[in-house]
Amino acid sequence: MELFLIILLSVVAYLLGSIPTSVWISKAYFGFDIREQGSGNAGATNTFRVLGKQVGTVVLFMDVIKGVTAASLVHYLGGIEHGTDRFINLQLLFGLLAVVGHIFPVFEQFKGGKGIATLFGMLIGIHYVLALAILGLFIVVLLLTKYVSLSSILAAIAFPILTIFVFKRDEPLLIAFGIAAAVMVILTHKKNITRLLNGEESKAKLFKSKS
């Protein structure tokens, strides 16, 4: 019975992640697909760029909530002590499936965003202090460089480093996931890295309203 429930919750986690907030909002309220403008991405950053800070903030919040909710699905499994390796491993499983859903949403031809906000939401659900530390690094890099992509990449790389050396966490799957997440973020930002190296990456104007 427990195995069936884990499988069911895994499907729910993926479907949660697959909710393409930016795509549905852009189609319903603005009459176009957000993936057809700006960077062509379905994430919050492109929404800020194309639709302005108000809509971008809504999309960012919803994408984070997807990750938090997915990681919290473990509470529907009774008898698993909070904070144990098994508890965290299941949080990782559900959270990762939400991130995969965000990147490859079943509702929108498997073409979604890069999963950064949902990944961050998952991390909040697992270890909110670590999440705040990573957020702090992201904000500092963003304020210094104005590059969301660079901020995301450096924050992702910091994930396993902070996990091991600062917070002294020794859960093998959490560490492995941190490393895998960093690699995933780098791979999903290959085009951004190329633009950064060529000096062609767009700088963020997150606090500028859409005229």
The predicted structure's pLDDT at residue 173: 86
- Say if residue 35's pLDDT is above 90: yes
Give pLDDT, residue 207.
54
Question: In the chain, what percentage of residues exceed pLDDT 90?
Answer: 68
Answer yes or no: is pLDDT of 28 > 90.
yes
Residue 211: band (very low, low, confident or very high) from pLDDT cuts 50, 70, 90: very low
Could you please report the per-residue DSSP string of the chain?
-HHHHHHHHHHHHHHHHT--HHHHHHHHHHSS-GGGSTTS--SHHHHHHHH-HHHHHHHHHHHHHHHHHHHHGGGGSTT--TTSHHHHHHHHHHHHHHHHHHHS-GGGTT-----HHHHHHHHHHH-HHHHHHHHHHHHHHHHHH--HHHHHHHHHHHHHHIIIIIS----HHHHHHHHHHHHHHHHHTHHHHHHHHTT-PPPP-TTSPP-
What is the reported pTM? 0.83
Percent of the chain exceeding pLDDT 70 equals 96
Give residue-wise pLDDT tens across range 149-200.
Answer: 999 999 999 999 999 999 888 888 889 988 988 998 898 889 899 999 999 9
- Interatomic CA distance for residues 111 and 115, integer angstroms: 11
pLDDT (tens digit, 9 = 90+) per residue, 84-132?
889 999 999 999 999 999 999 999 989 998 888 998 999 999 999 999 9
pLDDT at 209 over 50: no
96's tokens: 């990762």
Mean pLDDT across 26-52: 91
Q: Mean pLDDT across the chain, nearest whole number?
A: 90
SS3 letters across 53-107: HHHHHHHHHHHHHHHHHHHHHHHHCCCCCCCCHHHHHHHHHHHHHHHHHHHCCHH
